Amino acid sequence: GQNIDQPTEMTATEGAIVQINCTYQTSGFNGLFWYQQHAGEAPTFLSYNVLDGLEEKGRFSSFLSRSKGYSYLLLKELQMKDSASYLCAVRDRDTDKLIFGTGTRLQVFP
Amino acid sequence: DTEVTQTPKHLVMGMTNKKSLKCEQHMGHRAMYWYKQKAKKPPELMFVYSYEKLSINESVPSRFSPECPNSSLLNLHLHALQPEDSALYLCASSQDPAETRVQPQHFGDGTRLSIL
């Protein structure tokens, strides 16, 4: 079976750093993806990890530990426009399906 | 703007109507997906097409009927829907299902569907 957990809500201040955690339990693993979704809009692909370690893309970084079933998304120099939901999704190795977590709603305050 | 285009953006229909949602991508992607998303919930997979053939149907009721006329187009035909079917319907595509390399799915902006 599949189980993906993320915090439901987080708040942070403009200019700060925030880390959004994701833990997963899957029968087969073939990559972990992070998406950003603003209210009423499409999910936008941010990053993915298939091997252990840190992937950096500008203000966003994502980390994966396959042995621990753990990932995090790190957002630096927060901006008001970063207020959105952040979805962690795991690709199942056997079915190729993308299984989404419930998402973390981030609010950035001035 | 996304590279996956969905029309219409909004749709209101009665329970006896027949309508279709359309999705188009010109990125040469060979896998296309339909998802349903309710408010404050993650997207739920409905259908997957791989090389224009239906490869996954997540036990979706028959009142939803997908169609893939060619590699760039994906339709979702709707008939006799229920009020609980009101949701955001998202289309997505990814590069090549045969590739072992992990590829992200790219989403369209969705169609917000309301059933009266």
In which band, very low, low, confident or very high, does the pLDDT at A95 lie, cut at 50, 70 and 90? confident
Predicted pLDDT at B100: 58
Q: Does B106 touch chain A (CB under 8 A)?
A: yes
Predicted pLDDT at A59: 96
CB-nearest to A45 from B88, B90, B106 is B106
Q: Is the peptide bond before B97 cis (omega within 30 degrees of 0)?
A: no
Q: Which of residues 13-52 of B touch A (CB under 8 A)?
A: 40-45, 48
Cβ contacts of A40 on chain B, cutoff 8 Å: 88, 112
Q: Does B114 touch chain A (CB under 8 A)?
A: no
CB pair distance less than 8 Å for B43 and A43: yes
More confident residue, B58 or B99: B58
CB pair distance less than 8 Å for B56 and A87: no
Token reading at B106: 């790219």
CB pair distance less than 8 Å for B42 and A102: yes
Region B55-59: what's the mean pLDDT?
A: 91
CA distances from B68 to A3, A12, A72, A95, B5 (A): 31, 43, 36, 20, 15
Predicted pLDDT at A28: 84
Contact A18, A34 (CB under 8 A): no
User: What digits encode the pLDDT tens for the residues B22-32?
Assistant: 999 989 999 99
Predicted pLDDT at B33: 95
User: What digits encode the pLDDT tens for the residues A54-72?
Assistant: 999 899 999 999 999 999 9
Q: Where are the strands (E) in chain B, listed by range?
A: 4-7, 10-13, 18-25, 31-37, 44-50, 53-57, 64-70, 73-79, 87-94, 106-107, 111-115
CB pair distance less than 8 Å for B102 and A31: yes
For residue B97, the chain A residue with the least C-alpha distance is A96
